[in-house]
């Protein structure tokens, strides 16, 4: 099967994160078994989803991990000019949801494996395909908790095939979700003085967040080679109230921030709490903030063996990316991940997402050489 046929099949699975990914996981399991790999699955607490791990070669040897996610973001409301779940050639591009982010890398990995004498592996090759990366890296978080490091150590070298235009990234920001609940007191809107308006208090909370976000933008860390070496703090959703004639007794504000590589996940949250307490006075008792999903940042040291292997093939560019990936969770398994893959993050998540044919073909060549160097040599 050619890589274009694989990519056509991969794109054809509608794996938007609110849908099951088991059909795609089963298809990948069959492809990996056909290539001689041993397949394990790690079911999600949520029905219809699972991580898939396929391996080949001597267990416990320091070979290579290749990882990517199976899910994609929604297409509803976007101005697609072709069916997003049908791979569509357009000149030197292949259009479809997930072509860049990141089913193109999955297809390239399968193609690279077909070129190698897989019976001759001297060190272990591990493929890790995860679910729900797009909604907070839940799949890799579950995998990091489920994997028994003592019983089965993983190779240190780990490549996450997110779209970086084939530049090498050894660091990225994380992402922390924060939920702020405001409790008021309901009353008839003809007598608002008899209640406490939760939305009005929420407005003061948003102002604190806005001021804090502005200050964080000025805290630039010039030592980090990132496109934006500061912490973005962004309110993303607010909802409250029940009826037009009822003083709202509750309101929720959801926001997110992206801790820089090497920064504690909760540092910004703790500072935000202090600012809210100071600004709200007696009303602070009505405001309850808590951390939701956490995606860890990544900070892999420079000069790893995998980086040295990739460097001759890589496009020059920054060594950090501003978006979070599964790498932060997988690093907790003792690996030193690098983010490196075909396609551009600039077209990911957009209508008519695409990957260039040449980028996939180049990736296949690179993966073939890197797998050979890491796993076919003792």
Q: Which residues are catalytic?
A: 71, 133
249 token code pair: 């007794």
Q: What is the 3-state secondary structure (H, E, C) of 64-83?
A: EEEEEECCECCCCCCCCCCC
Q: From residue 274, how far is each of 164, 238, 255, 278, 292 by CA, in Å? A: 37, 21, 16, 6, 18
Q: Which two three-digit tokens encode residue 109? A: 């990995």
Task: Give the integer Cα–Cα distance in Å for 195 and 283.
Answer: 13
Rounded alpha-carbon distances, angstroms, from residue 34 to 37, 110, 134:
7, 11, 28
Geometric angle at alpha carbon 324, from 372 and 138, rounded to 5°: 90
What tokens were used for 376? 């076919």
In this structure, is the dihedral angle defined by the CA atoms of residues 86, 326, 131 and 73, taken in order, positive or negative? negative
Spatial separation of the C-alpha atoms in residues 256 and 331, rounded to whole Å: 22
28-31-32 Cα angle (round to 5): 85
Tokens read off for 98: 């997930």
| Sheet order of strands, 157-160 included | 38-43, 50-56, 125-130, 64-69, 157-160, 336-339
Cβ-based neighbours of 339, under 8 Å, separated by 6 or more: 159, 160, 162, 164, 168, 169, 170, 172, 298, 321, 325, 327
Instruction: Give the pair of three-digit tokens for residue 71.
Output: 């899910």
Helix axes 357-375, 104-115, angle to 10 degrees: 50
Cβ(182)–Cβ(252) under 8 Å?
yes
Q: How many whole angstroms separate alpha carbon 121 and alpha carbon 130? A: 24
Closest C-alpha to 94, from 317, 368, 347, 366: 347
């Amino acid at each position: 099967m050619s890589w274009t046929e694989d990519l056509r099949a991969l794109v054809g699975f509608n794996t938007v994160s609110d849908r099951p990914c088991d059909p795609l996981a089963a298809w990948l399991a069959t492809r990996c078994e056909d290539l001689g790999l041993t397949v394990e699955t790690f079911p999600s607490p949520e029905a219809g989803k699972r991580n898939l791990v396929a391996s080949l070669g001597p267990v416990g040897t320091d070979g290579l991990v290749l990882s990517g996610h199976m899910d994609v973001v929604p297409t509803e409301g976007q101005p697609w000019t072709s069916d997003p779940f049908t791979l569509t050639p357009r000149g030197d591009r292949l259009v479809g949801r997930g072509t860049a982010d990141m089913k193109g890398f999955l297809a390239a990995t399968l193609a690279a494996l077909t070129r190698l004498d897989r019976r001759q592996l001297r060190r272990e090759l591990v493929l890790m395909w995860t679910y729900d990366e797009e909604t907070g890296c839940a799949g890799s978080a579950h995998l990091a908790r489920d994997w028994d490091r003592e019983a089965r150590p993983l190779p240190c070298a780990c490549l996450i095939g997110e779209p970086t235009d084939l530049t090498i990234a050894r660091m990225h920001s994380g992402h922390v979700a924060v939920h702020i609940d405001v409790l008021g007191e309901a009353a008839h809107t003809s007598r608002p003085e008899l209640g406490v308006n939760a939305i009005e208090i929420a407005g003061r909370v948003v102002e604190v967040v806005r001021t804090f976000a502005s200050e964080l933008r000025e805290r630039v860390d010039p030592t980090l080679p990132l496109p934006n070496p500061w912490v973005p703090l962004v309110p993303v959703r607010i909802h409250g109230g029940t009826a037009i004639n009822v003083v709202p007794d509750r309101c929720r504000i959801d926001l997110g921030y992206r801790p820089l590589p090497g920064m504690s996940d909760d540092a910004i949250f703790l500072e935000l709490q202090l600012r809210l307490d100071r600004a709200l006075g007696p009303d602070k008792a009505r405001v309850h903030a808590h951390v939701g999903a956490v995606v860890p940042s990544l900070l892999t040291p420079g000069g790893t063996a995998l980086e040295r292997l990739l460097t001759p093939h890589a496009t020059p560019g920054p060594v950090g990316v501003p978006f979070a990936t599964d790498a932060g969770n997988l690093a907790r398994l003792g690996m030193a991940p690098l983010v490196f893959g075909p396609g551009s993050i600039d077209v990911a998540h957009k209508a008519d997402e695409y990957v260039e044919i040449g980028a996939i073909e180049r990736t296949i060549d690179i993966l073939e050489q890197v797998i050979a160097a890491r796993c076919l040599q003792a």
